[in-house]
Amino acid sequence: MTQNTAAQEPTGPLQVALQHTARLLASNPALAIEQAGEILKTVPHHPLATLLLGIAHRTVGDTEAALKSLEPLTGAHPRWAPAFYELGLTYLEQERAEPALKALRRAVYLDANLPDAWRVIGDQLSAQRDTAGADAAYAQHLRASTSDPRLMAAASALCESRIPEAEYRLREHLKLFPTDVAAIRMLAEVAGRLGRYGDAEKLLTRALELAPSFHAARHNLALILNKQNKYAESLAQIELLTAAEPRDSGHRNLKAVVLARIGDYPQALDIYADILSKHPAQAMIWMSFAHALSSAGRTQDSIAAYRRCLALQPHNGEAYWSLANLKTFRFTEAEIADMRALLAASKTTEDDRAYLHFAIGKALEDTGLYADSFLHYSLANALRLTKVGYDPDNASILVKRSKALFTQEFIAARRGYGSAAPDPIFIVGLPRAGSTLIEQILASHSQVEGTMELPNITAMALQLGGRKARAQDSAYPEVLNDLSAADCRALGEQYLEETRIQRHADKPYFIDKMPNNFLHVGLIQLILPNAKIIDARRHPMACCFSGYKQNFAMGQRFTYSLEHIARYYRDYVEVMAHFDRVAPGAIHRVIYERMVEDTESEVRRLLLYCGLPFEESCLRFHENSRAVRTASAQQVRRPIFREGMDQWRHFEPWLGPLQQSLGEVLNRYPDTPEY
């Protein structure tokens, strides 16, 4: 029977009975079951009555009864899209993701104009971290949501990544139809792709004001909030979604992602484990699970989870790199051979190639093959730099403008500004300079809680500057000159409120170890004058090359070139030297090599600066079982060792450009040049 025959409209009393049954689905599905049953007694195997019976059974939660109607129905009518759609939803109710996706894809193959089917497919692919597939499905959902030709044209432009055209068409459409929630959601998608997350948030909030049950828009809003580090707000939206659709794995997976971002690993791990117990073939969720296990200190479990991911997805370069990034892990010869084979495969993506080069570089370094190791590190960085891009002038310009603004007179005139709270302890510097070690030492004190690299100060600086990506286009930092005492106090309180979700222990102090905050020391002193600032500094060659070897998950774009990272290090030393002059004693410097050589003395100096009494636990930091969310997570769970300090010397024959670019900051280390 064809699709059209299956969906053919009945006539007379039968039509009335079917329409009445369909109306009952929303108000009284139990009665709808009775009505559909009566129809089928009169007209056995009637397609529409059978479909309504299956829907009613699913609505009341009796999925087995629903399948008894829907599975034979799709067998008898293999070209009837609505039957496959309902079958897919029923499988999802049973948390059977694979047959559900198969049925849903069959539905949209038969009829591409099924917006709800495309939405559910997008949700399922999102849960599997198939971002490209989910985006494509959501785009098809939007395309199918309306028959308006102007909106269809906008959806086509969005599907084909013609973003300016999509934005123009959507704005023109919304001038005429300002409450079209599908169009509003599409425009939010445009804003998200352009990185205008604030605009996307406003649009999605408006769509939900108009249509509170628009779950796809709410899911998108939760994603956008998470991208803006608004974790509490994101979780609030996710709770609404899970209340409405408690079995939806996409919502639960997003909840686990956000929980991990705020350090609630026990709950995040429970969610991942539950999802994977029902959907064990989801490679990307295994990888998310492994990341969380690693941060929580369950190293062997994380290794097993990464390997499970690779068993399901052998080409996954990120999983190989994640194993290498454990630092204490060692690849087998067979695994190195597998990675080399993937590099030789023509179908391997550029992203996977970068991950694989980083992982092979680490594996070869561990075996002492330094020339080959450096080659792979170089190839990895070249691939990453091509993709992310980086303009080293931006940091240099910001440093010069900060030095011009933050004079002794500027600082003295604003003494007493800001929030008086002493809670934050900032650790700044370059990545891979020993900041995680300092954090672990301090977090082993009874009065200090470790959190993570918090993005809030950077986000605040962008907001103050008009959210300009380039330093020369931003109003920051000069805009700080216009802030009143009340403004500075409000910004300090804003920072404390935004970071509260990261604090899980009842301790008076917490650590923010975002290294790049050295660019915003002046802002920190202005809005949080009683906060402590610790400068973590490491030998320039060791620090820079360690950063070069590291494939950072986000940010740190300066690390993909030896010249760029050297210039960034020079900018860092220059701006910190400036604040040493204009605010002497405000910043405490920890030289990594001194911490390694004379740990107790350095720890005592550190605690004295922080106003904390000495505690022996700070010397036994490696016994602290707290979650650690950086590349050094495994290393700081061991006692301090000297071996890592001079590892860069194995690569010295190839580091001439780095040495030359560092110049005087290398020659004068640990002292600083005259500026």
Which strand ranges, in their side-by-side order, compose the sheet holding 587-591?
A: 448-452, 509-512, 424-429, 532-537, 587-591
Q: What does pLDDT average to over the chain?
A: 90
Q: How far is CA 417 from the centre of its chain?
A: 34
pLDDT digits (tens, 9 = 90+) for 119-138: 888 878 877 878 778 778 87
Task: Write down the pLDDT at residue 641.
Answer: 59
Of 483, 482, 475, 487, which is closest to residue 401 (Cα–Cα)?
475
Q: Residue 140 carries which side chain, given as an amino acid letter?
A: Q
Are 591 and 418 a contacting pair, CB within 8 Å? no
Place of tokens 């979650």: 627
Q: Rounded mean pLDDT of 214-237?
A: 93
Q: Which of 50-59, 149-158, 194-203, 651-660 has the lowest mean pLDDT?
A: 149-158
Q: Which two tokens stand for residue 215?
A: 């779950």
Q: Which of 4-13, 585-594, 651-660 has the lowest mean pLDDT?
A: 4-13
Task: Write down the pLDDT at residue 32.
Answer: 92
pLDDT digits (tens, 9 = 90+) for 615-643: 999 998 777 654 554 444 445 445 565 66
Q: Residue 660 carries which side chain, given as an amino acid letter?
A: Q
CA distances (Å), origin 502, targets 230, 258, 457, 529, 579: 11, 11, 14, 21, 29
Q: Rounded mean pLDDT of 405-411?
A: 97
Q: Which two tokens stand for residue 410?
A: 């500027």
* Cα–Cα distance for residue pair 169/187, rounded to 1 Å: 9
Q: Which two tokens stand for residue 492?
A: 């300090």
The three-point CA angle 122-123-127 to 5° equals 115
Q: Which two tokens stand for residue 310?
A: 């690779």
Q: Rounded mean pLDDT of 282-302?
A: 92
Give the domains, in start order, of the chain with CATH numbers: 1-111 (1.25.40.10), 112-228 (1.25.40.10), 417-667 (3.40.50.300)
Task: Write down the pLDDT at residue 160.
Answer: 85
Task: Write down the pLDDT at residue 146.
Answer: 63
Q: Rounded mean pLDDT of 405-430?
A: 96
Q: Is the pLDDT of residue 1 over 50?
A: no
Band of residue 254 on the pLDDT scale cut at 50, 70, 90 = very high
- Indicate the pTM of the whole model: 0.78
pLDDT digits (tens, 9 = 90+) for 492-509: 999 999 999 999 889 999
* DSSP state string for 236-254: HHHHHHHHHSTT-HHHHHH
pLDDT digits (tens, 9 = 90+) for 321-358: 999 999 889 999 999 999 999 999 999 999 999 999 99
Q: Is the pLDDT of residue 300 over 70?
A: yes
| Preceding omega of 639 cis (within 30 degrees of 0) | no
Q: Is the pLDDT of residue 89 over 50?
A: yes
Start-to-end Cα distance in the chain: 84
Contacts 24+ apart (CB under 8 A), 472-478: 472/393, 472/394, 472/397, 477/398, 477/401, 477/402, 477/405, 477/406, 477/522, 477/523, 478/401, 478/405
Q: Rounded mean pLDDT of 406-422?
A: 96
Q: Would you give the DSSP letter of residue 480?
A: G
Q: Rounded mean pLDDT of 543-558?
A: 91
pLDDT digits (tens, 9 = 90+) for 461-503: 999 998 666 666 889 999 999 999 999 999 999 999 999 999 9
Of 510, 525, 496, which is closest to residue 418 (Cα–Cα)?
525
Instruction: With residue 450 as reference, give the H or E element that holds it.
Output: strand 448-452
Percentage of the chain lying above the pLDDT 90 cut = 72
Task: Write down the pLDDT at residue 6.
Answer: 52
* DSSP state string for 347-412: T--HHHHHHHHHHHHHHHHHTT-HHHHHHHHHHHHHHHHHHH---THHHHHHHHHHHHH--HHHHH
Task: Write down the pLDDT at residue 148.
Answer: 64
Task: Write down the pLDDT at residue 644.
Answer: 65
Cα atoms found within 13 Å of the Cα of residue 71, Cβ hemisphere only: 10
Q: Rounded mean pLDDT of 189-195?
A: 91
Q: How many residues does the structure list for the chain?
A: 675
Task: Write down the pLDDT at residue 354.
Answer: 96
DSSP H helical ranges for 279-369: 283-295, 299-312, 317-324, 333-344, 350-366
Of 278, 224, 291, 283, which is closest to residue 254 (Cα–Cα)?
224
Are 647 and 541 a contacting pair, CB within 8 Å? no
Q: Is the pLDDT of residue 155 over 50?
A: yes
Are 352 and 318 a contacting pair, CB within 8 Å? yes
Of 436, 415, 417, which is closest to residue 427 (Cα–Cα)?
436
Band of residue 222 on the pLDDT scale cut at 50, 70, 90 = very high
Check residue 263 and give left, alpha or beta (phi > 0: left; psi -120 to 50: alpha): left
Band of residue 389 on the pLDDT scale cut at 50, 70, 90 = confident
Task: Write down the pLDDT at residue 5.
Answer: 43
